[in-house]
Chains A and B, each alone.
Chain A
């Protein structure tokens, strides 16, 4: 069966520090991969999605970037965190555009 792993579960970082969140999927190949951010009262916002290695699309301009160095690995990064980057970050995968999306357990990011 397929599983998705996200880490770390929680992270506290100072303003201006770098960020790297990692997501990996097991049990499937060539998944579509997604990064979302969930902020209180605003629902889930899609940040990035990828349909293959090295293929990254961004939905909104922001202080973050994403990379997919391997088929089942998706990384969310920032060179300098802002206070507004605080939130709950969720990674998800699907088998295709018309297949269910499955989510990881998320990373709670707090910026001080």
Chain B
């Protein structure tokens, strides 16, 4: 059974810092990996999707990498801003399964 772990569970940084969020998964037989953002009391917003054949994806100040063989992904946020404060969730889609398996998220607080 696939398990997804996100470290750290919470992170507090001053504005302007570059930061890295980590995601690991136990079963490397995945179709893709997706990063989401969730604001308090809201639904999830898709940030980036990396196919299993890709190594990384970029969108603005966000860069996500995937190392399928080691079961790891990182989300890099450059020049963090207070508006980046949210919970970030990582999810993987396994071959043989019908949907995503989610991690519990990293709660990020960026202070001005």
Shortest CB-to-CB span from A66 to chain B, Å, is 13
Chain A: interface size category = 20 to 34
Q: Which residues of B does A touch, CB under 8 Å?
A: 31-32, 34, 36, 41-46, 49, 51, 89, 91, 93, 98-100, 102-105
Contacts of A104 in B (CB 8 A): 43
Number of A-B contacts (CB under 8 A): 51
User: Is A22 in the interface zone, CB < 8 Å from B?
Assistant: no
Contacts of B41 in A (CB 8 A): 106, 108
Q: How far is the CA of A67 from the CA of B99 in the complex (A)?
A: 18
Contacts of A90 in B (CB 8 A): 43-44
Q: How far is the CA of A47 from the CA of B95 in the complex (A)?
A: 19
Contacts of A105 in B (CB 8 A): 42-43
Shortest CB-to-CB span from A23 to chain B, Å, is 11
Shortest CB-to-CB span from A78 to chain B, Å, is 21
Listed A/B pairs (5) with beta-carbon separation below 8 Å: A43-B103, A44-B89, A98-B31, A100-B46, A101-B91
Shortest CB-to-CB span from B60 to chain A, Å, is 16
Judging by beta carbons under 8 Å apart, are B34 and A98 in contact? Answer: no
Judging by beta carbons under 8 Å apart, are B104 and A43 in contact? Answer: yes
